[in-house]
Chain A
């Protein structure tokens, strides 16, 4: 696109439209979004409630499909993926962090973090090791055996981040990850994101908070299903030491 020889973008959305329902009650959640995100970028998506941010993230995360338009993830057209391949993409390329943590109840932090590895077919011993390392990275090395109900919101969100990064995905998607957290937990989570970004991963974070957007390198604003502004605040991969070959 720019003439500079950049590697293929992680995200490439072209005219992505999402319509919920039909006829009079149809809701145009996304009205033809074009968006390219390069590898290693750290993007914040902002906008009023109902402007289509979550809808965008669900499509980007292969949890939902666009009504119209094309979406290439890491160069692969997602419309060509069958259900099984979509699951594979979610498992290998994407890590999710949700506002409501979404840990599996009655299952220890360690097991929660191991889960994506289990679905990836990683052997038990290696899985243990990698999950423990991920927990250590989010500062919860000693909480592996705790159940989600025994952890604070901030701790739960950090477990969720450990689970999202344990498979070393190219793309980390976070939908209002700090929405349910106090300012201290928020800054802990944001520090982790900086860390992940510095590791060369691409991050797309949806937020209402200026504090969160400040950390990002690029801020996109939404209104009524359209991008209304796209502002770069720091060069792509500002934290990154190495950006290529990390995935």
Chain B
């Protein structure tokens, strides 16, 4: 008997009980769709992070304080994306044994003779848990950054309405602020642009909003428009105190001089902090190291998601096996009849194996369909990016699952003794 014959019997077997087939198929469907969607989410979020890193500019460096002596430039990417500041901000400012980056450090980096390849320098402090209040509306700001006007140029920021920060704002320690659109919309409603010129309370301290920042979009779950920028001097006066900086953003002259600029920064800071590169109390993130770190993290993330999905595929496979065992038991008599009229072992194995594969094939196809459709929607702020290999893999594994989990029931059916199968009630 040929494969087409077996296939016909298998199709008949599968269609004989549509509800059961649908439910069994659903297990595989969910597994395959989960693999496709979750891998796509993983891919999408790493693509988003990479994109925002590239928007950050390929010639920006971030200097952060690290624990003295642990040194090296291999530090993680705590403030990834350039926002968010150091852990816990600097509001306490009195931790012992924590190295400090000071305004003088930042100042020193602007020295044209010591660091000729440095174009711009922006010291940063971040204030944590800042709540903005305006006219009864409140908003918890996810990133409140005190910095210098040059930060806008380094971070490729602009204002869509109002004025940017100026040197006078800095020197005059003016309590002015630029807000991102998320903050603006929450405070005044509408498109938020009316917030310009208003006085907003940040943790009870009044700042005048002078401009609304141009939208950055979001990086994965992080909303980059949920932020406030103010002159560092004023933020230190009011919210953070005069402790260490969270970080210093540095822009090299161009992409080619990033390495040189980094070496210059190390020289300047080493001599100021009386350390060597081996026991440096700060770390410098350049775009490449950041990208490497982010990529490996998002790969871990993707693998994690994929394994969760793979488990659900496995569960689907067990469902197929379960239903095939039931089918074999139910159709014991039929198997006996088939054997009595001359079915060979291979014929029976083929029929039931094909039936199992048919179930998983159908489930796999539907799963691919559902997965592809599901990946068109934004999921937790991430636009999923479907990878062809995950589709092929999920589908292949689904069919393989059918084969694997169908093998045992099919063999069990085939090894029934004809007389016992015929006598089965």
Interface residues of chain A, those whose CB is within 8 Å of chain B, are: 58, 61, 63-64, 83-84, 87-88, 90-92, 96, 98, 102-107, 115-116, 118-121, 163, 167
Asked if B12 and A91 sit within 8 Å, CB to CB, the answer is no
13 new A-B contacts, CB < 8 A, other than A91-B341, A119-B344, are A61-B340, A63-B419, A64-B417, A88-B342, A90-B339, A96-B340, A102-B422, A104-B338, A115-B341, A116-B341, A118-B5, A119-B1, A119-B341
Give the shortest distance, in Å, between B350 (CB) and chain A (any CB): 11
Q: How far is the CA of A102 from the CA of B419 in the complex (A)?
A: 13
Asked if B345 and A84 sit within 8 Å, CB to CB, the answer is yes
Residue B347 interfacial (CB < 8 Å): yes
Identify the closest chain A residue to B414 (Cβ): A83
Q: How far is the CA of A107 from the CA of B343 in the complex (A)?
A: 16
Q: How far is the CA of A132 from the CA of B342 in the complex (A)?
A: 20
Identify the closest chain A residue to B345 (Cβ): A83
On whether A87 and B16 interact (CB within 8 A), knowing A63-B340, A118-B5, the answer reads no
Residues of A within 8 A of B338 (CB): 104, 115, 119
Q: How far is the CA of A183 from the CA of B392 in the complex (A)?
A: 63
Asked if A90 and B1 sit within 8 Å, CB to CB, the answer is no
Asked if B12 and A106 sit within 8 Å, CB to CB, the answer is yes
Residues of B within 8 A of A120 (CB): 342
For residues 324 through 352 of chain B, which have their beta carbon under 8 Å from a beta carbon of chain A?
333-334, 337-345, 347
Residues of B within 8 A of A58 (CB): 419
Asked if A87 and B339 sit within 8 Å, CB to CB, the answer is yes
On whether A64 and B16 interact (CB within 8 A), knowing A87-B342, A115-B341, the answer reads no
Residue B418 interfacial (CB < 8 Å): yes
Asked if B343 and A119 sit within 8 Å, CB to CB, the answer is yes
Q: Interface centre among A105, A115, A121, by most B CB within 10 Å?
A: A115
Asked if B1 and A63 sit within 8 Å, CB to CB, the answer is no
On whether A90 and B342 interact (CB within 8 A), knowing A104-B337, A118-B1, the answer reads yes
Asked if A87 and B345 sit within 8 Å, CB to CB, the answer is yes
Identify the closest chain A residue to B339 (Cβ): A87
Per-residue contact bits, chain B 1-23, to A (CB 8 Å; 1 contact, 0 not) = 11001000000100010000000
Give the shortest distance, in Å, between A117 (CB) and chain B (any CB): 9
Residues of B within 8 A of A98 (CB): 422
Q: How far is the CA of A119 from the CA of B5 in the complex (A)?
A: 9
Asked if B337 and A87 sit within 8 Å, CB to CB, the answer is no
On whether A119 and B342 interact (CB within 8 A), knowing A104-B337, A105-B334, the answer reads yes
Asked if A91 and B342 sit within 8 Å, CB to CB, the answer is yes
Give the shortest distance, in Å, between B80 (CB) and chain A (any CB): 61
Residues of A within 8 A of B418 (CB): 63-64, 90
Closest 8 CB pairs of A and B: A91-B342, A119-B342, A63-B419, A87-B344, A64-B419, A116-B341, A63-B418, A102-B337
Give the shortest distance, in Å, between B13 (CB) and chain A (any CB): 9
Identify the closest chain A residue to B17 (Cβ): A106
Identify the closest chain A residue to B340 (Cβ): A96
Q: How far is the CA of A88 from the CA of B342 in the complex (A)?
A: 6
For residues 187 through 231 of chain B, which have their beta carbon under 8 Å from a beta carbon of chain A?
none
Give the shortest distance, in Å, between A166 (CB) and chain B (any CB): 10
Q: How far is the CA of A115 from the CA of B333 in the complex (A)?
A: 15
Give the shortest distance, in Å, between A130 (CB) and chain B (any CB): 14
Q: How far is the CA of A102 from the CA of B333 in the complex (A)?
A: 8
Q: How far is the CA of A87 from the CA of B5 in the complex (A)?
A: 17
Q: Could you pull out 7 A-B pairs where Cβ atoms are within 8 angstroms?
A: A58-B419, A63-B339, A63-B418, A83-B345, A102-B333, A102-B340, A119-B338
Asked if B334 and A104 sit within 8 Å, CB to CB, the answer is yes
Q: How far is the CA of A201 from the CA of B105 in the complex (A)?
A: 109
Give the shortest distance, in Å, between A134 (CB) and chain B (any CB): 13
Asked if A90 and B334 sit within 8 Å, CB to CB, the answer is no
Residues of A within 8 A of B417 (CB): 64
Q: How far is the CA of A102 from the CA of B338 in the complex (A)?
A: 10
Q: How far is the CA of A83 from the CA of B342 in the complex (A)?
A: 11
Q: How far is the CA of A102 from the CA of B337 in the complex (A)?
A: 7
Residues of A within 8 A of B2 (CB): 121
Residues of B within 8 A of A103 (CB): 337
Asked if A92 and B334 sit within 8 Å, CB to CB, the answer is no
Q: How far is the CA of A64 from the CA of B420 in the complex (A)?
A: 9
Q: Interface centre among A64, A98, A116, A119, by most B CB within 10 Å?
A: A119
Residues of B within 8 A of A119 (CB): 1, 338, 341-344, 347
Q: How far is the CA of A119 from the CA of B333 in the complex (A)?
A: 17
Residues of A within 8 A of B337 (CB): 102-104
Q: How far is the CA of A234 from the CA of B260 in the complex (A)?
A: 115
Asked if B419 and A87 sit within 8 Å, CB to CB, the answer is no
Give the shortest distance, in Å, between B413 (CB) and chain A (any CB): 14
Q: Interface centre among B2, B5, B347, by most A CB within 10 Å?
A: B5
Give the shortest distance, in Å, between B310 (CB) and chain A (any CB): 36
On whether A163 and B344 interact (CB within 8 A), knowing A64-B419, A119-B1, the answer reads no
Q: How far is the CA of A8 from the CA of B419 in the complex (A)?
A: 28
Q: Interface centre among B333, B341, B343, by most A CB within 10 Å?
A: B341
Q: How far is the CA of A107 from the CA of B2 in the complex (A)?
A: 19
Asked if B1 and A121 sit within 8 Å, CB to CB, the answer is yes
Give the shortest distance, in Å, between B75 (CB) and chain A (any CB): 69
Give the shortest distance, in Å, between A69 (CB) and chain B (any CB): 17
Identify the closest chain A residue to B334 (Cβ): A104
Residues of A within 8 A of B1 (CB): 118-119, 121
Give the shortest distance, in Å, between B414 (CB) and chain A (any CB): 10
Identify the closest chain A residue to B341 (Cβ): A116
